[in-house]
Structure 1
Amino acid sequence: MKSLKVLIVDDAKFICELVTKIVSDAFPEATVKAAFNGEEAQVLLTSGAFDIILCDWEMPKMSGLEVLKWTRAQPRYKTVPFVMVTSRGEREYVLKAIHAGVNDYLGKPFSKEQLIQKINKVLHKQKAPDVIQQAKAAKMLAEEQQENVPPSRSVLKPKGMAYLRVGDQVYKCAIKDMSLKDVLVVVKNEGEFPQVLDQAVIDIEQLSGDSVARVNGFIQMVEAADVHINSAFINIRITLVDDDPDKMAHLSKYIASVR
């Protein structure tokens, strides 16, 4: 894979740097470029040729779905592997991505091994999007709209509650404090908890219940909530890395509602 050219599209610089390092270590001869929004991705895709595209969903200016649709409309990229790398794993989002011609899906947070495995998989099975699968996805979306079925998502009713996802683990947590830079949560000590510098995704539902603020970050601090070796709870501080204005607006609304 000496000529492998990879494009990473994500508005979080931290994610771009992480993915770049993983790809560069796994494919030393590869050329890796990053775009921090959809418009930058369009410029790079127009000015050069890439063998695989790894793209986030939620970004300012253009969403990952819009980038995918635009990419599939370009003759040179109709069959180029496109992997959606995102925390958006709800049924509706997956169906929309399949309908638009995505090759595969990788959920955040992910491990080094998962990313490399996904890249190898789509490169070895490089082909045009499956029109049958696209048609099935379109039919399922239409049926759900007719039945007025809302997208599936975690329902977070209690005030100040959230879900923290790290690797394959999901922790229900209470929010102790929050700013636009970081979140301090507490989880029940069940003998297994995140490690410092792990990638993390935290889902916070607005008190009105009308939307979910889903943000990316990394674990900055893990400590016992009580000064005791058998502390029943663990404090976890997550440093946020997203720069999306829409996400910041969601967080600002949430912060204002609990203070």
Structure 2
Amino acid sequence: MAKLRVLVVDDAAFIREMVKKTIRTRFPDFQVEDAINGRKAQQLMTKSDFDLVLCDWEMPEMSGIELLSWVRQEHKSRVPFVMVTSRGDKANVVEAIQAGVTDYIGKPFSNEGLLNKVIKVLGKHHNLRSDSRSSGTGRVADGSIDALTGGAKAKQAPPRQPQKPTPAATQASPKATPPKMPKPATVRGSAHLRFGSTISACDITALSLKQIVLQCKVSQGLPAILENVVVDLEQPGAQENSEVARLNAIVHTLQAQDTSPDCELVSVTVTIVDQDPQKLAYMSKMIARGTTQSGFIPAAN
């Protein structure tokens, strides 16, 4: 079978590299190319054919839905087109279906979820099956612990014998200095943190163009370090027809707000990977004006 060619379209470099690495690891024979937005993807698609397009929705210059419309109406191509987007509401799904989308996958997504979608879509057009020749599906293979330890069981350390206290040890020792607790966070707004199938309501305690610090409740679930997440920014006073600014990010740090085993709040720092100038401009206004900035209204592309 000839090598299948996949085009990854996303304005976030981190997302593009992650998708390309995931596909190449699972399918080393695939030829994977990428484009920073719909306009660049147009140029590539006019020069050569692709077997699959994985495309973000929100991008500068030309959005994913505009690229899809061009592919179906002007380019006259029936190439499988999967929309990779944080827009999961019914209206957007219907719009994509009407434009001729083949399928879609919501952000944030796991490597396994992405590969399953690729296999599902290409399986209808090519002889592609989900075999077990690769471990790139995100699941840990059975017996992986034995593989790492060589099949040998870990030796149990002998119990430690109690030691008699020395004269110096019997003297009263100074009290240990209790750990410093973080200061109460100043709430600057609210947001929803989305990871996997979980949506967690959080408070924004710090905000920059590179990172967002969120205060989240443990009871609502927490993401893992380096996990892909989406932050939905919400501001009071937003207009009825405004949209929520959805920011693609990765989890940088997790820090409990107190040392209690029953700690209820965790500070989650995420690093933003979006490069959309409209979103960055909106964030700049949020930083400058606090929570008084009105809702995110993207310019018409």
Q: TM-score, normalised by structure 2?
A: 0.72
| Separation of aligned partners in 2, 1:39 and 1:14 | 19
For structure 1, which segment, 179-188 or 191-200, has the greater mean C-alpha deviation from structure 2 after superposition? Answer: 191-200
Q: 1:8 to 1:180 in 2, by over 3 A?
A: same
1:195 touches 1:219 (CA, 8 Å); kept in 2?
Answer: yes
Amino acid in structure 2 at the alignment position of 1:182: Q
Unaligned stretches of 5+ in structure 2? 127-186, 292-301
Q: How do 1:41-120 and structure 2 match up within 5 A?
A: 41-75=41-75, 77=77, 79-120=78-119
| Corresponding position: 1:238 with 2:270 | yes
- 8 Å Cα contact 1:2-1:29 kept in structure 2: no
Structure 1 or 2, whichever has the larger Rg, is: 2
- Give the superposition deviation at 1:2: 4.8
Gaps of 5+ in 1: 128-157
Counterpart pick for 1:171 among 200, 218, 235:
200
* Code of the aligned partner of 1:194: P
Mapped partners of 2:188, 2:254: distance in 1: 23
Report the counterpart of residue 135 of structure 1 in structure 2: none
Q: 1:59 to 1:6 in 2, by over 3 A?
A: same
What's the RMSD between the two structures over aligned residues? Answer: 1.9
Relative to the length of structure 1, the TM-score reads 0.83
Q: CA offset at residue 227 of structure 1? A: 3.0
Contact kept? 1:207, 1:254, Cα under 8 Å = no
Distance 1:4 1:74, change over 3 A: farther
Residue correspondence of structure 1 range 66-215 to structure 2 within 5 A:
66-75=66-75, 77=77, 79-126=78-125, 160-190=189-219, 192-210=221-239, 211=242, 212-215=244-247
Shift of 1:74: 4.3
C-alpha distance in 2 between matches for 1:126 and 1:82: 12
Determine the C-alpha separation between the residues in 1 that align with 2:220 and 2:66. 42
More helix by share: 1
State the shift of 1:225 in Å.
Answer: 1.1
Distance in 2, Cα, partners of 1:62 & 1:4? 25
How far the C-alpha of 1:159 sits from its partner, in A, is 6.7
Q: CA deviation at 1:100?
A: 0.4
Contact 1:207/1:257, CA 8 A, preserved across alignment: no
